[in-house]
Amino acid sequence: MNILVIGCDQVGASLVRDLERIGHDISIIEKDSEQLKRLDAFDDYTFSGNALVGDPTDPDVLRQGGIENCDAVAAVSEDDSLNLMAAQIAKSLFQREKVICRVSDPHLQVLYHKAYELDTICPTVLTEQAVFRSLAK
Amino acid sequence: MKVCIAGGGRVGRYLAQSLLANRHEIVIIEPVESQCRMLADTLDIPVICGDSISMDTLRTADVASCDAFVAVTGSDEDNLVACQIAKREFGVDRTVARASNPKNRELLHTLGVDTVVCGTDNLSHILEREIETDTIRQLLSLGGGTASLNEILLPENFLYAGKAIMDIPIPGDTILISITRDTEFIIPHGSTILLPWDHILCLTRDDSLHELTEAWGLSDK
d(CA B162, CA B53): 60
Asked if B108 contacts B96 with a C-beta cutoff of 8 angstroms, the reply is no
Residue B120 pLDDT greater than 70, yes or no: no
Phi then psi for B66, rounded to 5 degrees? Answer: -90, 145
pLDDT beyond 90 at A48: yes
Smallest Cα distance from A101 to chain B, Å: 14
User: What pLDDT sits at residue B117?
Assistant: 85
> Residues of A at the B interface (Cβ-Cβ below 8 Å)?
55, 57-60, 79-82, 84-85, 88-89, 92-93, 105, 107-108, 111, 115-116
Predicted confidence at residue B213, as pLDDT, reads 84
State mean pLDDT over B144-162: 87
CATH placement of domain B133-215? 3.30.70.1450
Residue type, A51: A
Distance from CA of B104 to the nearest CA of A (A): 8
> Taking CB atoms and an 8 Å limit, are A80 and B75 in contact across chains?
no
pTM of whole model > 0.90?
A: no
Whether residue A107 and residue B78 make contact (CB cut-off 8 A), yes or no, is no
User: How large a percentage of chain B has pLDDT more than 70?
Assistant: 91
| Alpha helix segments (H runs only) across chain B | 10-21, 33-43, 55-60, 76-88, 104-110, 119-132, 206-215
Superfamily of domain B2-120: NAD(P)-binding Rossmann-like Domain (3.40.50.720)
ipTM of this complex: 0.86
What is the arithmetic mean of pLDDT over A1-19? Answer: 96
Question: Is residue B139 pLDDT above 60, yes or no?
Answer: yes
Query: What are the tens digits of pLDDT across the range A73-104?
Result: 999 999 999 999 999 999 999 999 999 999 99
| Averaged pLDDT, B48-63 | 95
Count other C-beta atoms under 10 Å from residue B163's C-beta: 13
A contact test, residue of B73, B84, B105 with most A CBs within 10 A: B84
Q: What is the CA radius of gyration of chain A?
A: 15
Q: For position B138, what pLDDT does the model report?
A: 77
CB contact under 8 A, B77 and A85: yes
Count of alpha carbons within 13 angstroms of residue B6, beta-carbon side: 36
Question: How crowded is residue B50: how many other Cβ atoms within 10 Å of its Cβ?
Answer: 18
Architecture of domain A2-136: 3-Layer(aba) Sandwich (3.40)
- pLDDT exceeds 80 at position B128: no
Structural contact between residues B53 and B82, judged by C-beta atoms closer than 8 angstroms? yes
Q: Domain-by-domain residue ranges, chain B?
A: 2-120, 133-215
pLDDT at B14: 85
How far does Cα A31 stand from its chain's mean position? 13
**Looking at the predicted structure, is the pLDDT value of residue B63 above 90?**
yes
* Cα angle, residue B207 at apex, residues B204 and B211 outer, rounded to 5°: 85
Question: Which of B58, B77, B105, B106 is the best residue to mutate to test the A interface, defined by the most A CB atoms within 10 Å of its own CB?
Answer: B77
Domain-by-domain residue ranges, chain A?
2-136
